[in-house]
Amino acid sequence: MRLLINSSCRQLLGLLNCCEGKGVSSAKWSVLNPHLLLLRQNFSAKVTAAELVRYWRGVFEANKIPEAQESSEYIVSYVLGAKTFHSLSAGSLFTPLTAEQQQQVRQLSAKRLQRMPVQYVLGEWDFGELTLKMRPPVFIPRPETEDLVSLVLQEESQRSVSPLLNVGHRCSTAVPHSVILEIGCGSGAIALSLLSKLPESQVIAVDKKEAAVNLTRENAERLQLQDRIRILHYDVSSGSWDKLLPWGPVDTIVSNPPYVFHGDMSHLAEEILSYEDLDALDGGNDGMRVIKKILALAPCVLKDNGSVFLEVDPRHTEMVENWLRSHPDLSLSVTATHKDFFGKLRFLHIQKHKAGDSSCKNGFACPNMHLP
Ligand SMILES: C[S@@+](CC[C@H](N)C(=O)[O-])C[C@H]1O[C@@H](n2cnc3c(N)ncnc32)[C@H](O)[C@@H]1O
Domains of the chain, earliest start first: 7-114 (no CATH), 139-369 (3.40.50.150)
User: Tell me, what's the pLDDT at 29?
Assistant: 27
| Region 87-93 average pLDDT | 88
Least confident piece of the model among 91-105, 107-121, 262-276: 91-105
- Predicted confidence (pLDDT) at residue 268 exceeds the cutoff of 90: yes
User: Tell me, what's the pLDDT at 175?
Assistant: 55
User: Tell me, what's the pLDDT at 368?
Assistant: 54
Ligand 1 in reach of 186 Cβ (< 6 A) = yes
User: Tell me, what's the pLDDT at 129?
Assistant: 97
- Predicted confidence (pLDDT) at residue 39 exceeds the cutoff of 60: no
| Region 206-230 average pLDDT | 98
Question: Angle at Cα 114 formed by Cα 110 and Cα 116, nearest 5°?
Answer: 95
User: Tell me, what's the pLDDT at 1?
Assistant: 27
Please state, in angstroms and rounded to a whole number, the distance separating the CA atoms of residues 336 and 152: 13
The 10 Å Cβ neighbour count of residue 285 is 10
Ligand 1 in reach of 296 Cβ (< 6 A) = no
Q: What is the ipTM of this complex?
A: 1.00
For the segment 334-345, what is each residue's pLDDT rounded down to a tens digit?
Answer: 999 999 999 999
Ligand 1 in reach of 209 Cβ (< 6 A) = yes
- Residues constituting the chain: 372
- Predicted confidence (pLDDT) at residue 3 exceeds the cutoff of 90: no
Q: Give the contacts of 218 (CB within 8 A, at least 6 positions apart).
A: 133
Nearest CA among 308, 290, 309 for reference residue 299? 308
Ligand 1 in reach of 279 Cβ (< 6 A) = yes
| Residue of the CA atom closest to atom 24 of ligand 1 | 280
Determine the distance separating the centroid of ligand 1 and the alpha carbon of 259, expressed in angstroms. Answer: 10
| Residue of the CA atom closest to atom 20 of ligand 1 | 235
Confidence of residue 41 (pLDDT cuts 50, 70, 90): very low
Determine the distance separating the centroid of ligand 1 and the alpha carbon of 212, expressed in angstroms. Answer: 8
User: Tell me, what's the pLDDT at 190?
Assistant: 98
Quote the pTM value. 0.85
Confidence of residue 90 (pLDDT cuts 50, 70, 90): confident
Determine the distance separating the centroid of ligand 1 and the alpha carbon of 47, expressed in angstroms. Answer: 43
Query: Could you identify the atom of ligand 1 that is nearest to the CA of residue 141?
Result: 9
Determine the distance separating the centroid of ligand 1 and the alpha carbon of 347, expressed in angstroms. Answer: 16
- Predicted confidence (pLDDT) at residue 372 exceeds the cutoff of 90: no
Please state, in angstroms and rounded to a whole number, the distance separating the CA atoms of residues 217 and 180: 17
Share of the chain above pLDDT 70, in %: 79
Determine the distance separating the centroid of ligand 1 and the alpha carbon of 68, expressed in angstroms. Answer: 29
The rounded Cα 270 to chain-centroid distance in angstroms is 17
Determine the distance separating the centroid of ligand 1 and the alpha carbon of 276, expressed in angstroms. Answer: 12
Query: Could you identify the atom of ligand 1 that is nearest to the CA of residue 237?
Result: 19
Determine the distance separating the centroid of ligand 1 and the alpha carbon of 148, expressed in angstroms. Answer: 15
Query: Could you identify the atom of ligand 1 that is nearest to the CA of residue 281?
Result: 1
Ligand 1 in reach of 184 Cβ (< 6 A) = yes
Which of 290, 292, 295 most suits a substitution to test ligand 1, by most atoms within 8 Å of the C-beta?
A: 290
